[in-house]
């Protein structure tokens, strides 16, 4: 069987198996088992991909497969991955794997919880392997909808409000996407039967007037889920109400659908408009980056801190994509992966801390380093990765973006870049603020000494994420080369002015 199909099949089969499980133990075992298989096969996929590439296979996408679905409209289920998709799939596998362990102790409607979670993951995998815009959009929706249930049922705080807000805003984005996708479908000058296939569409030209209309739609449509300013406000509310694993998956993977979509759909299919309009969105993303960071500085709720910092980091992804060159785009993909890993780590840790302290307000906590050394050290590592310490993944991503952004010589790009670069100082400020208030200082409360130490499943979750961060941080060359090679087809269309 094609390894890409099995990437969708394993989650689907896992959900089917979950339906017949009854006890919490069975449910957890099945979910963990299924996602372990998924993680392993993602690693196999990476290995096979690198093998193929090393063997000289330089097709745009590998492991291609196509099933006709609705031929008269040109819809078919086309699968295939390039280096970017492989990297994103691996990221998804790591995050969902750790997410299962992070939600080990969910005891309310646990069966339904894991089913929704894995369905969501299946949607994400489908999104990354699809080459057909229609199917891609279908999977996109499949990933967004379970989110409503997951937040609305298992969330905390004003969960119905948050779930509604998040879903509605993402649906608003989807509406733009539908129009944009149909616009691309109808205006490209493909002969014969029209097609939704991205690669085929990419070889055809769309009139510039049409591009001007549809580019903003597609970019904003994907930008909403990528937390583009000013459409980011679902993120703080949504993330803070969502249960741990959902926050992890959402910030870690779902927000990346935005950047991925912008790069591989909006920029790839509508290159001329992308060039013309990049400045508008550069301003918006530049604002995202610095604004998100500054807004983080004054937050006191851990989840809000992480949500706003995600706005800043994901803003950097879109910012880099808009630089329209290979280096910056490589950095964008690296940043997606790096941010995915570290934000998942943060949300996992926040969940674990919350289960002990019963509060997420940092000013009400303190001195956790002494009572929970393992989790605290993990938090510090995540924080250091987030502020771009060399040797951890954040540094690699950010530096690639900055070097790429500096390839533009004009004043506008320079200023935008310098504004974005200065966010690293603000990042340091809020990370150290959290570390200082939360982990250091005297132990706040005598009761803290009774906290249970980190449990085995918590250790699995955090350690696997940290390993990911370290691997990318220490040996980034293979990953960055893999991504760069895949970017050729996209970026070559965006010829520099």
Instruction: Provide the minimum distance between the beta carbon of 240 and another protein in the complex, in angstroms, as a whole number.
Output: 12
Nearest residue (CB) to another protein, 112 versus 485: 485
Contact positions toward another protein, by CB under 8 A? 165, 168-169, 230, 233-234, 237, 291, 294-295, 297-299, 326-327, 330, 367, 369-370, 373, 384, 387-391, 395-396, 399-400, 402-404, 406-407, 409, 417-418, 421-422, 424-425, 428-429, 432-433, 436, 439-443, 476-477, 480-481, 484
Residue among 55, 77, 85, 9 nearest 337 (CA): 85
Please, which residue, 137 or 291, has the CB nearer to another protein?
A: 291
Which residues, listed in sequence order, are joined to residue 197 by a DSSP beta bridge?
132
Shortest approach of another protein to residue 52 CB, angstroms?
A: 21
Buried b / exposed e along 259-287 (16+ C-beta atoms within 10 A): bbbbbbbbbbbbbbbbbebbeebbbbbbb
Nearer to another protein, 357 or 480 (CB): 480
Compare residues 17 and 424 and give the one whose CB is closer to another protein.
Answer: 424
Taking the complex as a whole, the smallest distance from the CB of residue 479 to another protein amounts, in Å, to 9
Compare residues 327 and 343 and give the one whose CB is closer to another protein. Answer: 327
Q: Smallest gap, in angstroms, from Cβ of residue 165 to another protein?
A: 7
Candidates 351, 371, 378; CA nearest to 450 is 371
What is the DSSP secondary-structure string of 389-440? -TTSHHHHHHHHHHHHHTT--SHHHHHHHHHHHTHHHHHHHHHHHHIIIIIS
Least separation in angstroms between residue 439's CB and another protein is 7
Residues 150 and 103: their CA atoms lie apart, in Å, by 12
Write down the least CB distance from residue 403 to another protein, Å: 5
Tokens of 244: 């741990």
Which residue number, 196 or 319, has a Cβ lying nearer to another protein? Answer: 319
Q: Two tokens at 205?
A: 């030209």
How far apart are CB 112 and another protein at their closest, in Å? 27
The DSSP H or E segment spanning 113 is helix 110-129
Smallest distance, Å, CB 440 to another protein?
4
Compute and round to an integer the Cα radius of gyration of the chain. 21
Q: Which is nearer to another protein, 249 or 438 (CB)?
A: 438
Q: Which is nearer to another protein, 359 or 422 (CB)?
A: 422
CA 307 to mean position of chain CA atoms = 13
| Alpha-helical runs (H) found in 191-301 | 198-202, 208-225, 234-241, 244-249, 255-261, 268-269, 271-297
Burial of 302 from C-beta contacts in 10 A (0-12 / 13-18 / 19+)? buried
| Min separation Cβ 335 and another protein, Å | 14
The residue assigned the tokens 């956790």 is: 368
Neighbours of 399 (CB within 10 A): 15
Assess contact for 411 and 489: CB atoms under 8 A: no
Select 207 or 436, whichever has its Cβ closest to another protein: 436
**Other CB atoms closer than 10 Å to residue 107's CB: what's the count?**
7
């Amino acid at each position: 069987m094609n390894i890409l199909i099995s990437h969708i099949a394993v989650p689907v089969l896992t959900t089917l198996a979950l339906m017949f499980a009854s006890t919490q133990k069975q449910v957890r075992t099945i979910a963990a088992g299924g996602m372990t298989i998924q993680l392993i096969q993602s690693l196999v996929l990476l290995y096979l991909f690198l093998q193929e590439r090393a063997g000289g296979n330089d097709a745009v996408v590998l492991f291609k497969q196509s099933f006709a679905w609705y031929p008269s409209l040109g819809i078919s289920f086309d699968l295939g991955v390039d280096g970017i998709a492989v990297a994103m799939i691996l990221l998804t596998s790591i995050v969902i794997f750790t997410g299962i362990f992070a939600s080990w102790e969910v005891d309310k409607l646990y069966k339904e919880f894991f089913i929704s979670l894995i369905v969501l993951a299946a949607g994400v995998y489908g999104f990354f392997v699809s080459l057909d815009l229609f199917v891609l959009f279908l999977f996109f929706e499949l990933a967004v909808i379970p989110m409503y249930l997951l937040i609305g049922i298992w969330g905390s705080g004003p969960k119905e409000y948050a779930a509604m807000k998040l879903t509605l805003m993402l649906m608003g984005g989807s509406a733009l996407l539908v129009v944009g996708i149909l616009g691309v479908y109808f205006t490209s000058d493909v002969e014969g039967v029209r097609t939704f296939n991205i690669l085929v569409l990419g070889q055809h030209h769309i009139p510039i007037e049409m591009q001007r209309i549809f580019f903003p739609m597609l970019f904003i449509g994907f930008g909403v889920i990528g937390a583009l300013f000013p459409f980011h406000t679902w993120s703080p509310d949504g993330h803070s109400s969502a249960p741990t694993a959902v926050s992890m998956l959402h910030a870690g993977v779902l927000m990346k659908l935005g950047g991925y979509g912008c790069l591989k759909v909006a920029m790839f299919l509508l290159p001329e408009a992308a060039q013309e309009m990049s400045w508008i969105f550069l301003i918006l993303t530049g604002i995202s980056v610095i604004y998100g960071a500054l807004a983080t500085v004054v937050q006191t709720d851990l989840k809000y801190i992480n949500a706003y910092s995600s706005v800043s980091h994901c803003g950097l992804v879109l910012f880099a994509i808009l630089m329209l060159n290979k280096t910056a785009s490589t950095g964008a993909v690296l940043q997606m992966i790096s941010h995915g890993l570290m934000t998942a780590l943060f949300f996992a840790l926040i969940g674990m801390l919350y289960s002990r302290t019963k509060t997420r307000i940092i000013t009400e906590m303190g001195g956790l380093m002494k009572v929970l050394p393992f989790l605290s050290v993990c938090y510090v590592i995540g924080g250091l990765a987030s502020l771009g310490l060399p040797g951890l993944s954040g540094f690699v991503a950010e530096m690639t973006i900055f070097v790429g952004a500096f390839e533009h010589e004009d004043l506008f790009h320079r200023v935008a870049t310098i504004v974005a670069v200065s966010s690293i100082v603000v990042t340091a400020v809020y990370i150290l603020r959290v570390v200082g208030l939360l982990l250091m200082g005297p132990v706040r409360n005598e009761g803290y000494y009774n906290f249970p130490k980190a449990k085995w499943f918590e250790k699995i979750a955090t350690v696997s994420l940290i390993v990911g961060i370290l691997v990318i941080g220490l040996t980034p060359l293979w990953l960055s080369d893999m991504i760069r090679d895949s970017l050729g087809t996209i970026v070559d269309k965006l010829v520099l002015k």
